[in-house]
Amino acid sequence: MKVYIETYGCAAAQGDAAIMEGILLQRGYEIVGDTDKADVVVIVTCIVVDATQQRMISRIKKFNEMGKKIVVAECMASALPHVVKKIAPHAMLLPPRYIHHIVDVIEGKRDFIEKPKVLLPRKIGIRLNIPIAEGCLYNCSYCITKIARGKLLSFQMEGIVEDVKKAIEKGCKEIRLTTQDTASYGIDIGKSLPELINEIASIEGEFRIRVGMMHPSSAYRIFDELMEAYENEKVYKFLHLPLQSASPKILRAMRRGYSYEQFKEIVHAFRKKFSHSTFATDIIVAFPGESEQDFNETMEAIKELQPDITNVTRFSPRPYTEAAKLKKLPTQVAKQRSRITSEIALKISYERNKKLIGKTFQALFLEKRGEWTIGKTDGYKSVYAKNATIGEFAMVKITNAKLTHVEGIVE
């Protein structure tokens, strides 16, 4: 049987898609790149904001009109099953915790059991997203991911390490540890993220480990051991810590559970320890009740923290969340604040990139885009080079700066 997989969403969803593809191939299914040729269409859904939800709805409608057998997998299947059933009554639902049942759902079986996502077949490329847990410890007032993925469930460390070993043996060069909050990994099984990083870093071979997004409160709790684990040269000096807002009033309304002062402490300590590093953050603008003063507090924070990467999102009320009951700010205000935040963020990123010109760093090159080969330095800075080789580590001299990356020449 021929299966077409269309994947949306975060690194965790990408990691789950790699598992579903691995299982399908192992069970003799053929993966095709074109819906017309497919007997079954699998859509790996994301509903983090309304815009993506609308995209999912239009894709599912399209596949339904084509008369395809449809599997709706991941967050929409668990958080909004009724929305799916309304547009495609025969669609089969596969929530995040049951993706290992991909063949069963296609074959019409329904008795699913939950199972940690380890020691499962995966599609392995030069880069691999490895989900290390499911769900999280928090209850942010705007978040539908918590509704879709539930409470924290960490996967066994031995299984994760075994899967990474297999991936490295098959030529994978970049391991991305991913879940909603990597820093709370292991709390429920007596393990910790630093332990997991150390175990993976001790695997033979030349590869890099990218540690995914952390909730600031969880990162704060394990910070010292985490920074020790980051000292290993296999670990990218990359910290992804969503601030969302710097206003105490808005952080309370979001139920984020940390203060800007605590957040700042982590970032400054990380930067002090690793001079060549990348700090990424996320900002939600126009959260209900965000006054001009609250917004300016967040802009001042960005100027103070100088993030290398700032992901800006306009507040989007999500079904079944507390924040969805609150009065939305006018769209015009949201658009304006999003534009201002992106302008400030890109200016900062460009200024920081310019400071790297003339310097030389080790980088791992993983992707081709036109005449450029794209890599990541050990400080996780995106570097474009014309004379680099995919899959290779090389010393690269930075020759030019762009808004979101640098250019260089392999020496």
Q: Is 201 in the site for ligand SF4 (CB under 6 A)?
A: no
SS3 labels along the chain: CEEEEEECCCHHHHHHHHHHHHHHHHCCCEECCCHHHCCEEEEEECCCCHHHHHHHHHHHHHHHHCCCEEEEEEHHHHHCHHHHHHHCCCCEEECHHHHHHHHHHHCCCCCCCCCCCCCCCCCCCCEEEEECEECECCCCCCCCHHHHHCECEECCHHHHHHHHHHHHHCCCCEEEEECCCHHHCCCCCCCCHHHHHHHHHCCCCCCEEEECCCCHHHHHHCHHHHHHHHCCCCECCEEECCCECCCHHHHHHHCCCCCHHHHHHHHHHHHHHCCCCEEEEEEEECCCCCCHHHHHHHHHHHHHHCCCEEEEEECCCCCCCHHHHCCCCCHHHHHHHHHHHHHHHHHHHHHHHHCCCCCEEEEEEEEEECCEEEEEECCCCEEEECCCCCCCEEEEEEEEECCCCEEEEEC
Q: Which is nearer to ligand SF4, 105 or 286 (CB)?
A: 286
**For ligand SF4, which is the closer residue by CB, 152 or 334?**
152
Q: Which stretch binds ligand SF4 (CB under 6 A): 14-22, 71-79, 114-122, 131-139?
A: 131-139
Q: Does 143 bind ligand SF4 (CB under 6 A)?
A: yes
Instruction: Give yes or no for residue 74 binding ligand SF4 (CB under 6 A).
Output: no
Region of 64-72, 134-142, 201-209, 281-289 interacting with ligand SF4 (CB under 6 A):
134-142
Site membership for ligand SF4, residue 145 (CB under 6 A)? yes
**Contact with ligand SF4 (CB under 6 A) among 45, 78, 129, 180:** 180
Q: How far is the CB of 267 from ligand SF4 (least distance, A)?
A: 18
146 binds ligand SF4, rule: CB under 6 A = yes
Interface pick for ligand SF4 out of 26, 139, 232, 331 (rule CB under 6 A): 139
> Closest separation between CB of residue 96 and ligand SF4, Å?
12
State yes or no: residue 140 binds ligand SF4 (CB under 6 A). Answer: yes
Of residues 255 and 264, the one with the C-beta less far from ligand SF4:
255
Nearer of residues 155 and 274 to ligand SF4, judged by Cβ: 155
Number of chain positions touching ligand SF4 (CB under 6 A): 10
Q: Which residues bind ligand SF4 (CB under 6 A)?
A: 136, 138-140, 143, 145-146, 180-181, 215
